[in-house]
């Protein structure tokens, strides 16, 4: 069985938490995947040891990640430094506005993951006109449009696919075998 952790931090508006729920929904859409949806304030080191893949989410704060997310990784995760090497990861972030730095926050989250040897990936799919999670799923505010929701779902689905292929040996789950529209014609 493939195991996916959706680990996130959300501010008082809950936009990133809503994104996290859609990412988890996307991961669960692949049969044989177990998903944990965990806010960073409740996360433990055992969550990291349990997972094969991680979707990491944070609100965008001044073009970067939230201090709670950064603090959690700084203080807790070094206990599993070498244990995470070779697992899969991706990121998502919400900001206050378009151009608010969400892609920068995703890149910062990806850098956190890469420092632990977690393999991060981009997604070339277009989920709606002019919407693609190349660096991670991003939203200005909460995900409202079908394209924004699908961006989050696709991120979770793709993470589940990569984990299923490389950790559970399920070649049929490879993204190149996807039956859903990859939207590359947008």
Contact 135, 106 (CB under 8 A): yes
The predicted pLDDT at position 185 comes to 57
CA distance linking residue 50 with residue 58, whole number of Å: 21
The predicted pLDDT at position 92 comes to 97
CA distance linking residue 93 with residue 105, whole number of Å: 7
Question: Which among 96, 84, 16 is positioned nearest to 56, based on CA atoms?
Answer: 16
Going by their DSSP bridges, the two strands 137-140 and 88-95 should be labelled as parallel
Q: How many percent of the chain have pLDDT more than 90? A: 81
> Is residue 30's pLDDT more than 90?
yes
> Is residue 184's pLDDT more than 80?
no
- The pTM assigned to this predicted structure is 0.95
């Amino acid at each position: 069985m493939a195991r996916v952790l959706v680990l996130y931090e959300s501010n008082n508006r809950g936009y990133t938490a809503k994104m996290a729920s859609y990412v988890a929904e996307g991961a669960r859409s692949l049969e044989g995947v177990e998903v944990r949806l965990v806010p960073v304030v409740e996360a433990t080191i055992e969550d990291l040891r349990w997972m094969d893949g991680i979707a990491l989410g944070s609100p965008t704060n001044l073009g970067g990640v939230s201090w709670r997310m950064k603090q959690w990784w700084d203080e807790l995760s070094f206990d599993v430094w070498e244990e995470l090497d070779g697992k899969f990861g991706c990121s998502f972030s919400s900001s206050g506005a378009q151009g608010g730095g969400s892609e920068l926050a995703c890149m910062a989250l990806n850098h956190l993951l890469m420092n632990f040897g977690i393999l991060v990936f981009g997604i070339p799919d277009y989920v709606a006109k002019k919407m693609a999670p190349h660096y991670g799923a991003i939203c200005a505010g909460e995900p409202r449009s079908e394209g924004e929701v699908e961006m989050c779902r696709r991120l979770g689905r793709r993470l589940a696919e990569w984990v299923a292929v490389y950790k559970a040996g399920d070649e049929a789950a490879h993204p190149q075998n996807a039956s859903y529209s990859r939207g590359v014609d947008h």
